[in-house]
Amino acid sequence: MTETISRPTPRADIRPVWRWTAAAILPIGPAAVALLRFLLPYNTADDAPTIVTKIVGNLDRSSLVLWLAYVAILTLVPGAYFVGRLTRRGAPWLTGIALSLMIPGYLSLPWTASSDAFTWSAGTAGLDPASITKVAEATHGSTDLAGLVFVAGHLLGTVLLGIAMWRSGVGGRWAAVAVAISQPLHLTAVIISSHPLDLVGWGLQAAGFAAVGWAIVRLSNDDWQPLR
């Protein structure tokens, strides 16, 4: 009697797809925010009545801003993670601190965008700006906390991630500098109410992340993820 020895069927190697997917995702989030900040119909420093009036007066533009926010919500966290996968090899502690700030910050973005979504919906439904403002100003404490976590997390975390890119040599020195200075430029844009400067700031982060994506594409499969 002969025995048939069955051999396991070789599994398809999906690492190339994984690398190209990571490279494609990396710049999308920052680029979406760059366009969002450029198209935003109001300034961050505006008071609530002014923000409501500007959103209600620009419903189509505000709708596009909300779509861009949704794209950013889906892609910012994976993008930060993929950069961290490379920088942690040369700067593990710095990468860990950066991601521990950035990821909670990005995850808080839906809370910060919820007020604009409500204002757009109420304006589209035909509610008067005074009533919308009254509701918009009655924010839950978690929304205020989410705003703080988002601001602190993405500002400080991105600067640290840029430094981690520099120390680990990921993406090239120019990309590290672009990422490191992107959020200070964004903060400056918020303070002086400059939407074009905001486009440049977040655009630099998108460009720096794109350079990391190109570095990921050029990695071998084993360098990206060794087979076990």
- The parent domain of residue 171 ranges over 17-221
Percent of residues, the chain, with pLDDT higher than 90 = 65
Q: Is the pLDDT of residue 66 over 60?
A: yes
> 10 in a domain, yes or no?
no
Percent of residues, the chain, with pLDDT higher than 70 = 94
Number of domains in the chain: 1
Helix (H) / strand (E) element for 64: namely: helix 59-87
> 80 in a domain, yes or no?
yes
3-state secondary structure of 11: coil
Q: In the structure encoding, which two tokens stand for residue 32, read together?
A: 């979406």
- Position 10 scores a pLDDT of 63
Mean local confidence (pLDDT), 157-165: 97
Q: Are 179 and 158 in contact (CB under 8 A)?
A: yes
Higher pLDDT, 137 or 149: 149
Q: Quote the pTM value.
A: 0.88
> 3 in a domain, yes or no?
no
> 5 in a domain, yes or no?
no
- Position 1 scores a pLDDT of 46
> 1 in a domain, yes or no?
no
Mean local confidence (pLDDT), 57-69: 94
Mean local confidence (pLDDT), 56-63: 92
| pLDDT single digits (tens) 85-119 | 999 989 999 999 999 999 999 999 988 888 889 89
| Highest mean pLDDT (candidates 33-37, 123-127, 129-133) | 33-37
> 144 in a domain, yes or no?
yes
> 28 in a domain, yes or no?
yes
- Position 14 scores a pLDDT of 73
> 6 in a domain, yes or no?
no
Higher pLDDT, 228 or 98: 98
Q: In the structure encoding, which two tokens stand for residue 8, read together?
A: 């396991």
Q: In the structure encoding, which two tokens stand for residue 225, read together?
A: 């993820």
The least confident of 19-28, 60-69, 102-111, 217-226 is: 217-226
Q: Are 42 and 54 in contact (CB under 8 A)?
A: yes
Q: Is the pLDDT of residue 191 over 90?
A: yes
Q: In the structure encoding, which two tokens stand for residue 117, read together?
A: 């979504």
Q: In the structure encoding, which two tokens stand for residue 150, read together?
A: 């988002």
Closest CA to 119 of 107, 106, 131: 131
Closest CA to 56 of 118, 148, 134: 118
